[in-house]
């Protein structure tokens, strides 16, 4: 049986400071499905380790894959297509398959715009891919597979969406052996750096779906709003296995909102404390309080990320955020008091197209007032699949669909808002980050909290690189 290549495409921010490259769990899950169907798989991660077109072409020619699945987000779409072109050039018989949030949101236009892709997986791809593997093995056309888009007779056919799997415990665990955690050492962001031995960080998914519908977020286009949870025993068994097999000491929970179900968080904390691993997760301000955060800190939570799209309550309502500015303030302070060493806030410029200068200032004022260690101020990217994309496209605020420029920082975006031109948006984002990280009092406070000169210097070096890469004021 010819092998399957699972490929993570490289985006325009590849290799830049303040970016975080992690094992592509989705490809790990597809690897597990392919293995169950009898295929040998190989995982190539160009997002982590760069893309060498010549070496890749030679590799494809030698491997002669039956199928190549390319995972990508919106800004990596052109790079993903270059990978698919290379596959076709060196192994014309291989089926090339697009995968990820962009292909899910725009399956038909992805196949029309990028002719070297034969098919696209949409939604949660586990079972769709398992069915596709069986079809390819039997030499059948990929027709009639729910969740798939493909070409037939010069047309693009988009099959009906596949219902998301309900029982997450029944899914096979990601095939991490395809690219062990050690291959990702050094690709984690600055806020994971703590005193102690080198990290062995591993991603774990404990739930899928998010009940909220923040307008700037495209998460629901893949996993929907129906939340499904793995059992605590299943998550615990997986982490125990990761510790034993790979020496994992840090768990990166990839869940959209880890703290959604309090009794479950408490039960997981009990197990995490027993296992002695450190971990990081994403949370929403209105779902936490000091008691819960203290429990999490005591169970090894070293970093927590809150997405606070704006410092203005009116904007929060408009973007459908399920909390208020006051709740954000209270949650950050509680996380600090509870003893979580690194509290991060992700905030946006242009969260809503009607945002005014006063509202941007309110966001900056909140960033300064919050008890946070890391600020990730970004441009709100109107990603296909998000309500923001639809709203901005309808109002002709997206100037061009030049996907490679759909990035949260680093250049003038290809969109504008009602009150700001692209260059204004980029300038305000850069100014926020520059002011936050060049604040001497904040840097001194950070050193006190990190209690490690080495980590502090490294963090400052990475942030200086990042600041230098931003558009000048």
Alpha-helical segments (H) within 37-76:
46-49, 53-63
CB of 322 to ligand SF4, least distance (A): 7
DSSP string, 8-40: E---TTTT-TT------HHHHHHHHHHHHTT--
**Residue 210 makes contact with ligand SF4 by CB under 6 A:** yes
Q: How many CB atoms lie within 10 A of CB 357?
A: 11
260-279 positions binding ligand SF4, by CB under 6 A: none
d(CA 172, CA 34): 11
Do 47 and 9 meet the contact criterion of CB atoms below 8 Å apart? yes
Do 301 and 280 meet the contact criterion of CB atoms below 8 Å apart? yes
Residue the block writes with tokens 């969260």? 351
Do 120 and 88 meet the contact criterion of CB atoms below 8 Å apart? no
d(CA 263, CA 2): 46
Length of the chain in residues, anyone?
A: 473
Residue 211's Cβ-side half-sphere holds a number of Cα atoms within 13 Å equal to 10
Nearer to ligand SF4, 119 or 223 (CB): 223
CB of 300 to ligand SF4, least distance (A): 23
Nearer to ligand SF4, 82 or 214 (CB): 214
Nearer to ligand SF4, 41 or 381 (CB): 381
DSSP 315: H
Do 83 and 44 meet the contact criterion of CB atoms below 8 Å apart? no
**Residue 213 makes contact with ligand SF4 by CB under 6 A:** yes
Total of residues contacting ligand SF4 (CB under 6 A) = 10
d(CA 156, CA 153): 8
Nearer to ligand SF4, 384 or 422 (CB): 384
CB of 307 to ligand SF4, least distance (A): 5
Nearest to 310 by CA among 259, 258, 345: 345
280-299 positions binding ligand SF4, by CB under 6 A: 284
Candidate segments 49-57, 207-215, 246-254, 373-381, binder of ligand SF4 by CB under 6 A: 207-215
Q: For the chain, how big is the Rg over CA atoms in Å?
A: 22
Nearer to ligand SF4, 121 or 257 (CB): 257
**Residue 256 makes contact with ligand SF4 by CB under 6 A:** yes
Q: Write out the two tokens for 392.
A: 């901005």
Applying CB under 6 A, among 212, 234, 411, 442 the residue interacting with ligand SF4 is: 212
d(CA 115, CA 76): 16
CB of 260 to ligand SF4, least distance (A): 9
Candidate segments 213-221, 310-318, 336-344, 437-445, binder of ligand SF4 by CB under 6 A: 213-221
Candidate segments 88-96, 140-148, 205-213, 392-400, binder of ligand SF4 by CB under 6 A: 205-213
CB of 176 to ligand SF4, least distance (A): 24
d(CA 134, CA 216): 37
Applying CB under 6 A, among 91, 148, 199, 217 the residue interacting with ligand SF4 is: 217
420-459 positions binding ligand SF4, by CB under 6 A: none
Three-class secondary structure of residue 249 per DSSP: coil
d(CA 10, CA 71): 9
Applying CB under 6 A, among 307, 310, 417, 455 the residue interacting with ligand SF4 is: 307
**Residue 345 makes contact with ligand SF4 by CB under 6 A:** no
Nearer to ligand SF4, 219 or 425 (CB): 219
Nearer to ligand SF4, 212 or 229 (CB): 212
Candidate segments 103-111, 193-201, 211-219, 348-356, binder of ligand SF4 by CB under 6 A: 211-219
Nearer to ligand SF4, 107 or 256 (CB): 256
DSSP 398: B
**Residue 214 makes contact with ligand SF4 by CB under 6 A:** yes
Applying CB under 6 A, among 44, 257, 351, 372 the residue interacting with ligand SF4 is: 257
Residues making contact with ligand SF4 (CB under 6 A): 210, 212-214, 217, 219, 256-257, 284, 307
């Amino acid at each position: 049986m010819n092998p399957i290549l699972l490929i993570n495409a490289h985006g325009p921010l590849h290799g830049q400071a303040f970016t975080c490259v992690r094992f592509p769990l989705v490809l790990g899950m597809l690897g597990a499905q392919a293995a169950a169907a009898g295929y040998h798989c190989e995982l190539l991660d160009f997002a982590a380790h760069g893309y060498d077109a010549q070496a890749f072409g030679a590799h494809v020619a030698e491997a002669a894959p039956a199928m190549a699945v390319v995972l990508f987000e919106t800004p990596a779409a052109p790079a993903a297509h270059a990978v698919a072109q290379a596959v076709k050039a060196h192994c014309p018989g291989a089926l090339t398959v697009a995968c990820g949030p962009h292909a899910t949101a725009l399956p038909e236009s992805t196949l029309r715009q990028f002719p070297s892709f034969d098919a696209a997986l949409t939604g949660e791809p586990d079972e769709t891919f398992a069915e596709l593997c069986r079809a390819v093995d039997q030499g059948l056309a990929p027709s009639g597979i729910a969740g798939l888009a493909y070409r037939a007779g010069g047309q693009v056919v988009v099959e009906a969406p596949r219902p998301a799997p309900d029982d997450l415990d029944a899914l096979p665990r990601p095939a991490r052996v395809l690219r062990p955690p050690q291959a990702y050492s050094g690709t984690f962001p600055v806020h994971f750096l703590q005193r102690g031995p080198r990290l062995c960080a591993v991603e774990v998914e404990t739930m899928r779906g998010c009940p909220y519908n923040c307008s700037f977020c495209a998460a629901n286009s893949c996993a929907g709003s129906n939340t499904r949870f793995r059992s605590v025993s299943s998550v615990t068994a997986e982490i125990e296995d990761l510790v034993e097999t790979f020496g994992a000491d840090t768990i990166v929970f990839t869940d959209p909102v880890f703290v959604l179900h309090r009794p479950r968080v408490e039960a997981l904390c009990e197990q995490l404390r027993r296992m002695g691993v450190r971990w990081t997760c994403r949370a929403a301000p209105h779902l936490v309080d000091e008691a819960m955060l203290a429990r999490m800190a005591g169970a090894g939570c070293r970093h927590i990320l809150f997405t606070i799209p704006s410092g203005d309550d009116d904007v929060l309502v408009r973007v459908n955020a399920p909390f208020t500015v006051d709740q954000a303030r209270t949650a950050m302070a509680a996380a600090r008091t509870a003893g979580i060493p690194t509290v991060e806030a992700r905030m946006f410029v242009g969260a809503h197209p009607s945002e005014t200068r006063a509202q941007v200032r309110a966001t900056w004022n909140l960033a300064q007032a919050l008890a946070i260690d890391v600020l990730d101020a970004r441009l709100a990217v109107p990603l296909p699949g998000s309500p923001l994309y639809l709203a901005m496209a309808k109002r002709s605020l997206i100037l061009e669909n030049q996907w490679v420029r759909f990035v949260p920082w680093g250049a003038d975006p290809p969109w504008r808002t009602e009150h700001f031109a692209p260059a204004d948006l980029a300038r305000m984002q850069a100014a926020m980050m520059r002011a936050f990280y060049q604040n001497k009092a904040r840097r001194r406070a950070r050193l006190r909290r990190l209690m490690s000169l080495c980590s502090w210097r490294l963090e400052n070096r990475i942030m200086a690189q990042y600041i230098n890469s931003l558009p000048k004021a």
